[in-house]
């Protein structure tokens, strides 16, 4: 059994093109080739821990992933996320590797899923990218969009002005120009692609905030309590896409909107079905689209398998 630490993981990641691997994982999931049990989670006073696990039939490995989010860690000088992935052989159950990634692989695969959703649904002529939040996903999600959209203009909102300023500095180093917004609605007023990355339990955007033609990638709402979009945003949307319809019955923006009676469960389509060409996404420039990303174990399977195979080649 190999123990692979974060430094080596980052070296391997630098040589990988993960987008097609994760796209194929989503297609496999929607085609019924994946075994993905319900998410396990610990919701505690100061943080949360998610346990996601599964296998894709015919693959070499199955994966158990532990990922945590402790959002007060910035005051302690610690990252908000942590975790590891455990890799086992499908044919024998023998442990193959422990990936001590400190939550980095979860961050990367989440950002890639956001980019996949935006590529499938957003208008190609986006002039500004809007971001709610200032953490790791606020950075990685935008960086993953760089190959897909020409714009490098970002409008960002966060509750802490100092963190917004730090975000602007970091993103400038990555080639993006960041303008700070006073409130979430000000982001939506000028942006055709919006990424929500906060742990908010109260809606930050309302339907009245959203312009025609906007795409929203909703990242932060991955538990039963979290919500960044008011239910009327999903009611307004012409196309609503879930990473997992099953998970979005119990968590995420779709679950919140269904519970509020704003949309029917069958309004949403699944990302893997869209990627397979078996459903229609955006069909006009004026449509409003939403991608509800709650995080699916097949993303972890794809990225963990790529790391293990990369380590074997080294």
pLDDT, one tens digit per residue, over 141-161 is 999 999 999 999 999 999 999
Alpha helices in 191-279 (DSSP H): 231-236, 252-259, 271-275
Tens digit of each residue's pLDDT (9 = 90 or more) over 250-284: 999 999 999 999 999 999 999 999 999 999 999 99
Are 142 and 176 in contact by the 8 Å Cβ rule? The answer is yes
Res. 311: pLDDT tops 80: yes
Question: What's the pTM?
Answer: 0.94
Res. 111: pLDDT tops 90: yes
Measuring CA to CA, which residue among 217, 261, 210, 256 is closest to residue 236?
A: 210
Cβ-proximal residues to 94 (8 Å cutoff; 6+ apart), any chain: 1, 88
65 is catalytic: yes
Please tell me the predicted confidence (pLDDT) of residue 313.
85
Res. 74: pLDDT tops 90: no
Please tell me the predicted confidence (pLDDT) of residue 80.
85
3-state secondary structure at position 58: coil
E strands present in 70-171: 81-89, 95-100, 129-132, 153-157
Are 204 and 132 in contact by the 8 Å Cβ rule? The answer is yes
- For 42, 102, 174, 200, 298, the CA distances from 45, given in Å and listed in that order, are 10, 21, 35, 15, 29
pLDDT band at 79 (very low <50, low <70, confident <90, very high): confident
Instruction: For each of the domains in the chain, give its residue range(s) and CATH number, in order of start.
Output: 2-106+298-313 (3.30.1780.10), 107-296 (3.40.50.720)
Q: Which of 2, 46, 65, 267 is catalytic?
A: 65
Res. 29: pLDDT tops 90: yes
């Amino acid at each position: 059994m190999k123990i692979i630490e974060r430094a080596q993981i980052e070296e391997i990641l630098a040589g990988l093109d993960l987008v097609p691997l994760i796209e194929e994982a989503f297609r496999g999931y929607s085609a019924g080739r994946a075994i993905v049990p319900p998410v396990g989670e610990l919701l505690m006073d100061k943080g949360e821990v998610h346990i996601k696990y599964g296998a894709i039939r015919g693959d070499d490995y199955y994966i158990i992933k532990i990922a945590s989010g402790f959002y007060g860690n910035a005051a302690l000088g610690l990252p908000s996320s942590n975790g590891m992935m455990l890799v086992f052989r499908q044919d024998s159950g023998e442990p193959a590797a422990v990936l001590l990634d400190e939550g980095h692989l979860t961050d990367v695969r989440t950002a890639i899923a956001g980019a996949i959703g935006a590529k499938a649904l957003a208008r190609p002529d986006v002039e500004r990218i809007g971001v709610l939040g200032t953490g790791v996903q606020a950075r990685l999600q935008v960086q993953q969009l760089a190959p897909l959209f020409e714009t490098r203009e970002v409008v960002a909102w966060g509750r802490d002005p100092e963190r917004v300023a730090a975000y602007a500095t970091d993103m400038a180093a990555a080639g993006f120009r960041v303008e700070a917004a006073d409130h979430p609605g000000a982001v939506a007023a000028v942006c055709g692609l919006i990424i929500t990355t906060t742990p908010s339990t109260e809606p930050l955007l309302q339907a009245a905030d959203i312009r025609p033609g906007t795409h929203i990638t909703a990242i932060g709402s991955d538990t039963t309590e979290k919500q960044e979009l008011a239910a009327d945003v999903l009611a307004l949307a012409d196309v609503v896409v879930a990473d997992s319809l099953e998970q979005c019955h119990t968590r995420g923006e779709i679950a919140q909107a269904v519970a509020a009676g704003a949309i029917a469960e069958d309004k949403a389509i699944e990302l893997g079905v869209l990627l397979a060409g078996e459903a229609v996404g955006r069909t006009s420039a004026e449509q409003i689209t939403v991608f509800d990303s709650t995080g699916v174990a097949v993303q972890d399977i794809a990225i963990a398998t790529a790391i293990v195979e990369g380590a074997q080649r080294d």
